[in-house]
Structure 1
Amino acid sequence: MKTNKSLMQTGAVFLLSLFAASVMAAVSPSEAAKLGSTLTPFGAEKAGNAEGTIPEWTGGIATNAASVDSRGFLGNPFAGEKPLFTITAQNVEQYKDKLTPGQQAMFKRYPDTYRIPVYTTHRSVNMPADVVEAAKTNALNTNMVQGGNGLEKFGVANAFPIPQNGLEVIWNHITRYRGGSVKRYVTQATPQTNGSYSLVYFDDEFVFPNKLKDYDASKPSNILFYFKQKVTAPSRLAGNVLLVHETLDQIKEPRMAWLYNAGQRRVRRAPQVSYDGPGTAADGLRTSDNLDMYNGAPDRYDWKLNGKKEIYISYNNYELDSPKLKYADIIKAGHINQDLTRYELHRVWHVTATLKAGERHIYAKRDFYIDEDTWQAAAIDHYDGRGNLWRVAEAHALYYFNKQVPWYSLEALYDLQSGRYLALGMKNEEKQSYDFGSVASSGDFTPAALRQAGVR
């Protein structure tokens, strides 16, 4: 009996050590030395693929790769290129090994209109020197805590440039570089099945604490970033403001959110702004954690790393972001105008999220496809409780070469069951493109500041 008890204790210690090893994520100096040599400074494979269809990363495109107009809209560095080929419902079988299940489902749902124009692959992305340095430091020091639901010793961006498991890949998406601070004026559409739609207009601010003008490095904070979103139209919603304090460790200190209702002139806590709570003015077509493709605490899912694969993802979408376009050019029945999109072959990390026993979420499973060069989610497939593919998310990536910031031109979330979708992030007809480097103070992101922000 003593022997059995001793063996059980030894086994328990061994299992605990394995769990600790999976949570403690920092890599060795020899592993970290791969960053900038065999790996890019952010953890992607520097080499191209064997077929030559994915090129070697050589530092991205230049910061003056194309023109930038007075409103900040970017010219297209690849304007002269034509599609290599176009995938349609008629030839999709030929390419399905390079497509996600969600993309294949879109061809079945919309066989006459959905298409994927495939262009030459460009590994266009680079990032500023401080982000490069932070990636090296994070690789050596950043750890997961609270069972993987928080971070410690994290700085700036890209928590785990050399990830060891699926959850670390997801944390890379959550903590990826987004310019430090940004103001943006964007629109959201939720078209009916016949293509008719109305727009919701947002003024967004997104700021990491170290970009605040009153930032104090001597006072460590659990805040990952501040987010403030004001609805400016239509009139029935205008003046409503959402404020979010996103935390690094959301189990120790959950996300804090407040809503200012312009009609009531009241500020209230908003615990529903998380997980599968309804998205702002989204007509039930997205959850709170669908924003930015995925956001928030990862504690309700088990995360499995399936490895890397090569797929066609939407990339370098300068034409889709053009101020020459009208929103009516983009929004069509069933899906956005795919003729305006650009897809390229890239390597992605494939991660599967499965809802934990006893946890609740409308999505029982999600399959993530994360671009290796930017750590942005490129596509996510969402499954319902019956195991059926329900919603397909596609991010149409854009690289702000003048600021060295990867982001999205547009996020689309397609509901295969209802035939409707949501498109968020369009700014083609707005007064300016993204304003990176905007100046703010911590006082701008307090509940007391919401009432003033919501004045119509």
Structure 2
Amino acid sequence: MSTLRKTLIALTGIALIAPMANAKVSSSDAERLKTDLTPFGAVRAGNADGSIPEWAGGLTTPPPEYKGPGDHHANPFPEDEVLFTVTSQNMNKYSDLLTDGQKAMFAAYPETFRVPVYKTRRTHAAPEWVYENNISNATTAVLANKGNGVKKAYGGIPFPLAAQTTKDGLEMYWNHVMRWRGVYIVRRASETAVQRNGEYNMVTSQQEAYFNYYNPEGSVKDLDNILFYYLSFVKAPPRLAGGAVLVHETVDQVKKPRKAWGYNAGQRRVRRAPTLAYDTPIAAMDGLRTADDTDMINGSPDRFDWKYIGTEEKLIPYNNYMIGNPDTKYSDLLWAGHINPKYTRYEKHRVHVIEGTLKKGQRHIYTKRRLYIDEDSWSVASADQYDGRGELWRVSMAYLKNYYEMPVTWTTLDVFHDLQARRYAVQNLDSEESSTIDFSQPIPNSRYFKPSSLRRRGTR
């Protein structure tokens, strides 16, 4: 990756767009990513009482039970037992460790919602070349176009030192959006909206994503404002089979909005999706999720003012291997109100808390969003969304785990709760599928993610 580093260094002479062109950190600060900080900018040391351990490199080797690409992920910690369980009866004892969203879930479902807490394992890891790029980005990356984009970053976290130096909530937002998730992935998974009485109808699709920003053969010059390409085509139920969606995700969506196309198998027509951003409701999820709720948060940050609240210790979903175990049946996992706590795992981790407040004159169904970002991976583990009255309305949770074959920390299940409707939506269910996520497939050619390919791919 030395060529990439040279490219980044060469670009440091490009003029920046004021006034949002933030100051870069020094080389001496960046060296901390090799010493007292992890390559992602987290504090290597554990906490004062030892309940959060030191980061020692994370999990980089699959357990012997893992068979290879596409196999369901064997639990690398089968001997771990629940240390304690937080319930509505004892939640006050653990109040400082709970998010507002978790407290609201206890209030909404006092008899059934639980938080089983396990030993904290700091499993996050990434390939060495990503670590190298993080260090390069630390001294070159800058916010651009009034904070609506990022310049002079490639192949790694753009602002790994944001929590240590600038303490800029907007930089932390971009760290999540541009975090490491592999290069090219293929997965078959299901999603559904679970009704108040527990009923649901499953939609299964094959999903493919090419993270252009993380192409090891690419560079800043090749990026062309494209963060990733996403393609999904429906496999079931039969009435929807063949339908497809294609997304070209841009970095700066104010400068160049994301492009999306849909394919209707019945009409055999490809059409440009007019709007797939901000608070556009996702019809397939019964409107329980907005376009920018996906991945806990995504897209342009421009409708909200973002600020850093602080770094806190919280109980967040982590190392959730039981959810994707092939013995876990959807009918057992999907309860009325929330997923079955039996299959979840929470751990105490440090999180960076940032808050977005709707700007004056801007429109969105949420007036405030609070994000809890895992310090090790920059993944949002939990998100709280507030309505126009300032009341907590929706609670989103990403059940994280380490995909050790890559390695990468990513979600195994995303759950979006509507506290008022008492319903929730679920993405990435795959325990009943014959295979799961596969990071090993070769990157397709440039024509693969063009709208003209939708008709060919979206067949019944």
Q: TM-score w.r.t. structure 1 length?
A: 0.93
Aligned to 2:87: 88
Specify which of 279, 283, 286 is matched with residue 283 of structure 1: 286
1:26–1:138 contact (8 Å) kept in structure 2: no
| CA distance in structure 2 between the aligned counterparts of 1:129 and 1:33, rounded to whole angstroms | 15
- Does 1:36 find its partner at 2:54? no
Distance 1:168 1:355 in 2: 17
Post-superposition offset of 1:69: 3.0
Is 1:67 the counterpart of 2:70? The answer is no
1:320 to 2:323 alignment: yes
Note if contact 2:262-2:272 (Cα within 8 Å) is conserved in structure 1. Answer: yes
Unaligned runs of 5+ in 2: 1-16
Q: State the shift of 1:263 in Å.
A: 2.2
The residue correspondences of 1:408-419 to structure 2 (distance < 5 A) are 408-419=411-422
Shift of 1:265: 1.7
Paired-residue identity, %: 47
Change over 3 Å in CA distance of 1:120–1:382 after alignment to 2? same
Distance 1:277 1:237 in 2: 21
> Match for 2:269 among 266, 273, 280?
266
Note the C-alpha offset of 1:428. 0.3
Amino acid at match of 2:82: P
The match for 1:303 among 302, 306, 316 is: 306
Q: Secondary structure at the match of 1:23?
A: coil
Choose 312-321 or 215-224, whichever is displaced more.
215-224
Q: Residues 364 and 211 (structure 1 numbering): CA distance in 2 closer, same or farther, change over 3 Å?
A: closer
Q: Does residue 114 of structure 2 align to residue 108 of structure 1?
A: no
Q: Measure, in 1, the Cα distance between the counterparts of 2:105 and 2:119.
A: 23
Would you say the 8 A contact 1:213–1:441 is kept in 2?
Answer: no
Distance of 1:217 and 1:272 partners within structure 2: 28
CA contact (8 A) 1:193 1:420 kept: yes
> Which entry has the higher C-alpha Rg, 1 or 2?
1
Letter in 2 for 1:275: Y
* Match among 383, 387, 391 for residue 388 of structure 1: 391
Give me the whole-angstrom Cα distance separating, in 1, the residues matched to 2:220 and 2:114.
Answer: 49
Amino acid at match of 1:443: R
Aligned partner (choices 343, 346, 350) of residue 349 of structure 2: 346
- Residue by residue over 1:286-326, the C-alpha shift from the partner in whole angstroms, topping out at 9 and shown as x without a partner, is 01111111111111110010110000000001111111111
Residue 187 of structure 1 contacts residue 201 of structure 1 at CA under 8 Å; is this kept in 2? Answer: yes
User: 1:21, CA displacement in angstroms?
Assistant: 7.0
In 1, distance between residues paired with 2:242 and 2:303? 33
Aligned to 2:47: 49
- 1:123 counterpart residue number: 122
Quote the offset at 1:362 in angstroms. 0.9
Query: Residue in 1 aligned with 2:453?
Result: 449
Contact 1:25 1:144 (C-alpha < 8 Å) held by counterparts:
no
Q: Is the 8 A contact 1:185 1:427 kept in 2?
A: yes
Amino acid across the alignment from 1:161: P
Matched with 1:5 is none
What is the alpha-carbon distance in structure 1 between the residues aligned to residue 373 and residue 23 of structure 2? 19
Amino acid at match of 2:45: A
CA distance in 2, matches of 1:140, 1:425: 36
Q: Equivalents in 2 of 1:263, 1:374: separation in Å?
A: 42
Alpha carbons of 1:214 and 1:241: their partners in 2 closer, same or farther (altered >3 Å)?
farther
Return the alpha-carbon distance in structure 1 between the equivalents of residues 409 and 192 of structure 2.
23
Pair 1:133 & 2:132 matched: yes
1:180–1:437 Cα contact (<8 Å) kept: no
Alpha-carbon distance in structure 2 between the residues aligned to 1:110 and 1:444? 45
Distance across 2 between alignment mates of 1:287 and 1:254: 17
Deviation at 1:280, TM superposition (A): 5.1
What number of residue pairs does the alignment pair up?
Answer: 438
Deviations 1:8-54 (A, max 9, x none): xxxxxxxxxxx957532521111111102110011101110001110
> How far apart are the structure 1 equivalents of 2:399 and 2:448?
30
Deviations 1:223-253 (A, max 9, x none): 1111111122222222221111111221111
**Offset of 1:219 from its aligned partner?**
4.0
Q: Which one-letter code corresponds to 1:329 in the other structure?
A: D
Moved more, 410-419 or 152-161: 152-161
Query: For residue 174 of structure 2, what is the aligned residue in structure 1?
Result: 171
Name the structure 2 match of 1:433.
Answer: 436
8 Å contact 1:275–1:296 — kept in the other structure? yes
Q: Give a deviation string over 1:344-378, Cα, whole Å, max 9, x none.
A: 00000000011111111111110000000111000
Distance 1:217 1:23 in 2: 17
Q: CA RMSD in A?
A: 1.8
Alignment partner of 1:155 is 2:154:
yes
Aligned with 2:243 (options 222, 240, 260): 240
CA distance in 2, matches of 1:273, 1:102: 26
TM superposition shift of 1:64: 3.0
Q: Quick check: 1:191 aligned with 2:190?
A: no
